[in-house]
């Protein structure tokens, strides 16, 4: 969790600014603020880092995805291609928008592939919600021609990939809107928070209103503002934005440290037999928050993960059995267990969610074990971790 490793005076200073004014609300109260607008500062830092023309800070990465879908006009009955490997919020956002998730194959990038998207297309496909997983990026050079050919709306969930890029373009800026998460476990954290980015003014203005009950934010009398659209409350507080501001400034340093540590760990493990690493379409754009190991097959990956547990190794995930990140455990999604009926209960599902055939995804995630990279590791800590990984893999694997 790189962001949380570096809490210090910078974050405290930003919080103290807010506490001196007592204004925790992101809008209005101009006379009491003494010129302090942390949500605006947070957005400015994100724009500076990513190169986005517009950024809108919200209460979570999940809220950012919901706002992005709505602002791009994705709603009731629209088919949206999604990956089976993502934090489940991506799928929840599509369902709660009234849209219909269509699951497609990923590849060794850990993201949707062009082949997977193409196979999942139907005459009713309106959008693709592409997720850049585990700090890396999808193969955009093969995906973007497909998006353009079929005139699809692309929304990017880059919740796990803030700071990553593909051929010099920040992930999140290839489609109409992109989303970053700043929750407690991300490369930069606000405790809770998210940011929607776009290069289109219309989408930004819709998101700005949609995330605050439809307010147009014109004038200085909140109670008399116009409501161009129906919206909801996805506002971020000034306290969360204050932390996000300081943390975003740290991201270039975090990425630099991450890359050094990931490179060392990779080199120390590179002589292991029967091991590969996930594919990075642009290694120079890696945020380096995870080292993703691909074992030869699912039984060996399961056995390895068990041995890591027994050895007390920390900071790794075997996603194949993870309850929130892979489709195998999403029984509530497959069975559409909802608190209240959603549009999909009326329209019907575009796929049989309980009998999906995604063999490529099953093989990739079944073989995948990811280690979180810490930016504060010492060389000795990295070498100790590498020794532990090697011991488990060389001495404890069956056959």
Q: In CATH, which of 3.90.1150.10, 3.30.450.40, 1.20.140.10, 3.20.20.70 is domain 252-322+361-395?
A: 3.90.1150.10
Q: How far apart are CA 69 and CA 3, in angstroms?
A: 27
pLDDT tier, 3 (very low <50, low <70, confident <90, very high otherwise): confident
Both tokens of 35, joined, read: 């010129």
In the DSSP assignment, the letter for residue 154 is E
Q: Is the pLDDT of residue 2 over 90?
A: no
Q: Do 204 and 182 meet the contact criterion of CB atoms below 8 Å apart? A: no
**How crowded is residue 283: how many other Cβ atoms within 10 Å of its Cβ?**
12
- How far CA 48 is from CA of 41, 53, 183, 385, in Å, comes to 10, 9, 20, 35
pLDDT tier, 394 (very low <50, low <70, confident <90, very high otherwise): confident
67: nearest Cα among 197, 199, 240: 197
Tell me what the mean pLDDT of segment 45-68 comes to: 98
**How crowded is residue 381: how many other Cβ atoms within 10 Å of its Cβ?**
12
pLDDT value for 274 = 85
Q: How far apart are CA 139 and CA 296, in angstroms?
A: 23
Q: Is the pLDDT of residue 399 over 60?
A: no
Tell me what the mean pLDDT of segment 53-69 comes to: 98
What is the residue-averaged pLDDT of the chain?
96
Model confidence pLDDT, tens digit, residues 227-270:
999 999 999 999 999 999 999 999 999 999 999 999 999 999 99
pLDDT value for 320 = 98
pLDDT value for 397 = 53
Domain ranges of the chain: 2-250, 252-322+361-395
Spatial neighbors of 163 by CB under 8 A, at least 6 apart, are 49, 170, 187, 188, 251, 252, 254, 255, 287
Distance of CA 290 to the CA centre of its chain: 13
Q: Is the pLDDT of residue 63 over 70?
A: yes
Both tokens of 376, joined, read: 């504060």
pLDDT value for 105 = 98
- Judged by DSSP in three states, 46 sits in helix
Model confidence pLDDT, tens digit, residues 179-205:
999 999 999 999 999 999 999 999 999
Dihedral angle of Cα 284, 287, 290, 291, to the nearest 10 degrees = 10
pLDDT value for 4 = 87
Task: Specify the pTM.
Answer: 0.96
Q: In CATH, which of 3.30.450.40, 3.40.190.10, 3.40.640.10, 3.40.50.2020 is domain 2-250?
A: 3.40.640.10
Model confidence pLDDT, tens digit, residues 282-304:
999 999 999 999 999 999 999 99
**How crowded is residue 203: how many other Cβ atoms within 10 Å of its Cβ?**
22
Q: What is the 3-state secondary structure (H, E, C) of 209-231?
A: HHCECCCCCCCCCHHHCCCCCCC
pLDDT value for 354 = 96
* Percent of the chain scoring above 90 in pLDDT: 95
Q: Is the pLDDT of residue 1 over 70?
A: no
pLDDT tier, 398 (very low <50, low <70, confident <90, very high otherwise): low
């Amino acid at each position: 969790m790189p962001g949380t490793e570096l809490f210090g005076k910078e974050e405290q200073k930003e919080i103290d600014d807010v506490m001196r004014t007592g204004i925790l609300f992101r809008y209005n109260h101009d006379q009491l603020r003494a010129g302090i607008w942390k949500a605006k500062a947070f957005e400015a830092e994100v724009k500076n880092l990513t190169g986005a023309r517009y950024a809108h800070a919200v209460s979570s990465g999940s809220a950012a995805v919901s706002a992005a879908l709505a602002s791009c006009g994705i709603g009731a009955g629209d088919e949206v291609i999604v990956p089976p490997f993502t934090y489940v919020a991506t799928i929840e956002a599509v369902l709660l928008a009234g849209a219909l998730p269509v699951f497609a194959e990923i590849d060794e990038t850990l993201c949707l592939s062009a082949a997977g998207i193409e196979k999942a297309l139907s005459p009713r496909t309106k959008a693709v919600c592409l997720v850049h997983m585990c700090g890396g990026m999808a193969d955009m050079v093969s995906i973007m021609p497909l998006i353009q050919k079929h005139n699809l709306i692309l929304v990017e969930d880059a919740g796990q990939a803030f700071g990553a890029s593909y051929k010099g373009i920040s992930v999140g800026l290839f489609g109409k809107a992109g989303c970053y998460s700043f929750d407690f476990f991300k490369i930069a954290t606000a405790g809770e928070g998210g940011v929607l980015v776009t290069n289109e003014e219309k989408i930004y203005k819709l998101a700005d209103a949609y995330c605050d009950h439809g307010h147009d934010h014109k004038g200085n009398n909140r109670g008399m503002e116009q409501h161009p659209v129906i919206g909801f409350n996805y506002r971020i507080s000034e306290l969360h934005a204050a932390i996000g501001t300081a943390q975003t400034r740290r991201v270039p340093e975090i990425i630099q440290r991450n890359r050094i540590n990931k490179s060392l760990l990779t080199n120390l493990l590179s002589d292991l037999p029967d091991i590969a690493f996930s594919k990075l379409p642009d290694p120079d754009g890696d945020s380096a928050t995870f080292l993703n190991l691909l074992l030869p097959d699912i039984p060996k990956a399961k056995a390895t993960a068990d041995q890591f547990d027994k050895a007390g190794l920390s900071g790794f995930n075997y996603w194949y059995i993870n309850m929130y990140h892979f489709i195998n455990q999403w029984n509530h999604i497959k069975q559409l267990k909802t608190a209240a009926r959603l549009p999909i209960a009326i329209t019907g599902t575009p796929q049989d969610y309980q009998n999906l055939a995604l063999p490529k995804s099953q093989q990739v995630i079944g073989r995948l074990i990811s280690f979180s990279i810490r930016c504060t590791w010492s060389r000795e800590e990295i070498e100790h971790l590498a020794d532990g990984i090697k011991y488990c893999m060389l001495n404890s694997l069956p056959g």
